[in-house]
Amino acid sequence: MTIEERIKASETRIFKTVFPNNTNHYDTLFGGSAMAMMDEVAFITATRFTRKRMVTVSSDRIDFNKPIPAGTIIELVGTVSHIGNTSMKVLVEIFIEEMYSFVREKAITGTFTFVAIDEHKHPVKVVD
């Protein structure tokens, strides 16, 4: 499988409903909850790409462009954006979908960096 095919095959899409237990006092998705979901999707994407042990080493930048109200559906999309020697970056976007209409818009974008490790927690090559 080529690198391009692996990138395409590792794209990860997860849908969730924003319930009140994940919202703040403004009745919008709590930023920490969004970041945790994004890190999970980024981890799945990185693992699907490498099929190796991966650890998060940083969240490089997260832009909260629109609040995500309770009672909406969100889609998290993870895509490999950079491949290094022992590290890689995953772009994660969160889209809001209104539950009872076809309105859809991008709300949050973030980049996460991962390192591939062996069973002794030493860095290894992302791609052999």
Specify the pLDDT at position 49.
98
Average pLDDT, the chain: 97
| DSSP per-residue string spanning 27-85 | SBB-HHHHHHHHHHHHHHHHHHHH-SEEEEEEEEEEEE-S--BTT-EEEEEEEEEEE-S
* Element (DSSP H or E) covering residue 7: helix 3-10
Threshold 0.85, pTM exceeds:
yes
Specify the pLDDT at position 4.
96
Which pLDDT band holds residue 66 (cuts at 50, 70, 90)? very high
CATH topology (fold) of 1-114: Thiol Ester Dehydrase; Chain A (3.10.129)
Mean pLDDT (whole number) for 90-101: 96
